[in-house]
């Protein structure tokens, strides 16, 4: 079991580094007025998780790489990819309403709590 944790941790560290490099590069190329880097990692990560979920999760050999690549690297790179895969899985299993609730709830609740967290932190600072 510890071996799986090491795979996830190593993949996550590599994904976080890749995210930092991608965001930094996009900032240098496009400037910082719009979060192009975050948009890029979300789109790239979603593309990769869609392809890799099919490729890795369909074979027993691929399953051994899933903790490193899907859970580790891609989650370190962007959690948006996991969010997108979860929504796709709901849709593909015929649970379109649940997918809509999941997507809407995730976006609006996450935005709401990030705003609430900022308000709380500002209250502590001031």
DSSP secondary structure letters along 2-53: HHHHHHHHHHHHHHHHHHHHHHHHHHHHH-SSS-HHHHHHHHHHHHHHHHHH
Assign 94 to helix, strand or coil: coil
Residue 121 has pLDDT above 80, yes or no: yes
pLDDT for 126 equals 62
pLDDT for 32 equals 84
pLDDT for 112 equals 92
Contact 107, 51 (CB under 8 A): no
Residue 87 has pLDDT above 90, yes or no: yes
Residue 123 has pLDDT above 70, yes or no: yes
pLDDT for 124 equals 80
């Amino acid at each position: 079991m510890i071996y799986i944790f090491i795979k996830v941790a190593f993949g996550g560290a590599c994904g976080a580094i890749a995210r930092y490099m991608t965001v930094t590069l996009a900032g240098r190329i496009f400037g910082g007025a719009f979060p192009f880097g975050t948009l890029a990692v979300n789109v790239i990560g979603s593309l990769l998780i869609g392809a890799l979920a099919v490729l890795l999760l369909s074979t027993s050999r691929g399953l051994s790489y899933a903790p490193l690549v899907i859970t580790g690297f891609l989650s370190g790179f962007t959690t948006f990819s996991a969010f997108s895969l979860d929504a796709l899985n709901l849709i593909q299993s015929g649970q379109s309403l649940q997918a809509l609730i999941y997507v809407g709830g995730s976006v609006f609740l996450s935005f709401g709590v990030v705003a609430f967290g900022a308000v709380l932190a500002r209250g502590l600072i001031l």
